[in-house]
Amino acid sequence: MRIMVVWCPDWSVTAGMLELADGSSPSVENVETTAPAVVLANNKVVVCNAAARAEGVRRGQRRRDAQARCPDVVLLAANPDRDARWFEPVLASVEEIRPGVAPIRPGLLAVPAPGRYFARSGVGGEQSAAALLAEHLVGVGVWDCRFGVADDLYTAERAARQATPQDCFVVAPGESAAFLRGQPVTVLADDGPEGAELADLLRRLGLVLLGDFAALAAGEISNRFGAYGVEVWRRVQGAETARLASRTPPPELRCEISFEPPLDSAEAAAFSVRTTAERFIAGLAGRQLVATGVRIEAEFEPVGSVGTAVSARTWLHPRCFTSRDLVDRVHWQLQAGMAGSGLRSRKSLGATISAPVTLLRFLPDVVEPAGDHADGLWGGGADDQVVRGVARVQAMVGYDAVRVPVLQGGRGAADRQAMVPWGERATGLRPVDRPWPGRIPGPAPTRVFADPLEAEVVDEAGAVVAVTSRGVVTGEPWQFRIGPSSGRRALQRMPVASWAGPWPVDESWWVGVGSGGRAARFQVVGVDGRAWLLKWSSGVGSGVWEVEAAYD
């Protein structure tokens, strides 16, 4: 079997530049994909592209040397995930023409050479197949791709490195050994540090070409150069028979349903999507998978000149989605969009969409092995009955009216907790196990006000108590008032029985004007025995007092 290798040189740089051009990277700049660029790891150049090489940048250079040679070089961080991610479309587009693609590493893939089917008069089949693939790859934005065809994988890779961009270098059948023997030993450096070491040793021994190495006897090789030497020697003999580990194309797991005529109520859509949801879950279950995060996309009928509106949201599940959960999520997502369809209007998360639904699509976002989420023999996880009962409450008052309380880190009482909607997973919580200097020690307040109440604290002379920038109280708290100072619900001032504090903090001043700043917290007990957590924050005049929480 003949093997064709497709090599995209300096793939890390190409992938990095593609990502920059795509705009998904936070630092969006207008850079030409052909600008000089290097990929750095540990402040050393790992990969550089041809433009950078032309300026004198080399692999292994330090960053400042590279920048000294080429000041406008684009610096990219090494990221193997990014390289693999951007190589995936290349694999897919080669797969469209020739199945049985074996990815070797990002930037390098092998396919069984598509021999005689592509033969034209005067041009070999392999040449024309490579030309076809090159045209296809250029179509998806990969300009620098090189092809090599030979009897075995290693020779084909070496041949690809001989080829010019978008061209093919063919090693004739049976010529592999002869081709390799003409190569200098320095090509072994492409194998990694082991290869570089061997190449250096061979050069110092006076063996310049791989052919010189191949002329040695097998026994001597294994004595002197170890397992890697033997492997190289066997390759150079042209006796290597590595099989291609061709990949199976990833399965299509998403499911969609389109509605004709479009549906204009969330109930109807949720009802119609039931079988699709079941099919989606069954498709995953067939591969022993369950989804813990699902992206639901809904397309709406165009209204006027607006064009097709799309609502998309990723839903996370604390355990794993069942088809029933998915139907609920569809219902909630459409409810948020369809404000005018006679349903309970909820505050929308994005632009309000009030057009009929034409299409619904489920995309698995996070999948996990089903075994990790299986019920124990005697049940496990949330009680089924509880889950059903709470779902009824959610149907009554809206999905985000039912919450699960969770703890998180922070200084203020309200910062230290979070309310996660039932059926969603808590994300982005601050860690609890940090010291959080400035927080109030001791028993936590039982009532934490989401919106702090107005308050007032005065000293014996009747002046409002404040805290200086050194953290000193201007007067001893003598009387305090909870609630507004005037109006119908105004209360009398209450004498302070005892107080503790201040616990000064100065946080979030970096967020911007009007947020955060200097503040201090006090525990105040009134003569009626009720204790409050008050907060003084600097502002106009002598600052603002508010009630954060109560020890009720």
- Interface with other proteins (CB under 8 A): 383, 385-386, 388-390, 392-393, 396-397, 401-407, 413, 416-419, 422, 440-450, 473, 476, 498-501, 523, 525, 529-531, 549-552
CB of 380 to other proteins, least distance (A): 13
Residue 150 has a CB neighbour count (10 Å cut-off) of: 28
- Pick between residue 303 and residue 401 the one whose CB is nearest to other proteins: 401
Angle between helices 125-139 and 80-97 (to 10 degrees): 130
CB of 475 to other proteins, least distance (A): 11
Say how far apart CA 155 and CA 158 lie, in whole Å: 5
- Pick between residue 295 and residue 530 the one whose CB is nearest to other proteins: 530
Per-residue H/E/C for 260-288:
EEEECCHHHHHHHCHHHHHHHHHHHHCCC
CB of 371 to other proteins, least distance (A): 22
Closest alpha carbon to 500 in 525, 466, 470, 465? 525
- Pick between residue 179 and residue 499 the one whose CB is nearest to other proteins: 499
- Pick between residue 254 and residue 388 the one whose CB is nearest to other proteins: 388
Say how far apart CA 476 and CA 182 lie, in whole Å: 92
- Pick between residue 123 and residue 393 the one whose CB is nearest to other proteins: 393
DSSP letters along 437-497, please? TT---SSPPSEEEEEEEEEEEE-TTSPBP-B-TTS-BSS---EEEES-SSSTT----EEEE
- Pick between residue 29 and residue 451 the one whose CB is nearest to other proteins: 451
Say how far apart CA 65 and CA 87 lie, in whole Å: 30
Closest alpha carbon to 533 in 468, 473, 449? 449
Contact 410, 431 (CB under 8 A): no
Per-residue H/E/C for 429-442:
CCCCCCCCCCCCCC
Residue whose token pair is 């859509």: 269
CA distances from 455 to 214, 242, 461, 489, 550 (A): 89, 79, 18, 13, 12
CB of 393 to other proteins, least distance (A): 5
- Pick between residue 326 and residue 531 the one whose CB is nearest to other proteins: 531
- Pick between residue 342 and residue 389 the one whose CB is nearest to other proteins: 389
Task: State the DSSP code for 164.
Answer: P
CB of 516 to other proteins, least distance (A): 22
The alpha carbon of residue 296 and the mean position of all alpha carbons in its chain are separated, in whole angstroms, by 18
Contact 147, 130 (CB under 8 A): yes
524 Cβ contact partners less than 8 Å away, ≥ 6 residues apart:
457, 477, 480, 496, 498, 499, 531, 532, 534
CB of 442 to other proteins, least distance (A): 5
CB of 522 to other proteins, least distance (A): 9
- Pick between residue 146 and residue 331 the one whose CB is nearest to other proteins: 331
Contact 149, 159 (CB under 8 A): yes
CB of 489 to other proteins, least distance (A): 17
Task: State the DSSP code for 298.
Answer: E
CB of 266 to other proteins, least distance (A): 19
CB of 520 to other proteins, least distance (A): 12
Contact 153, 111 (CB under 8 A): no
- Pick between residue 77 and residue 407 the one whose CB is nearest to other proteins: 407
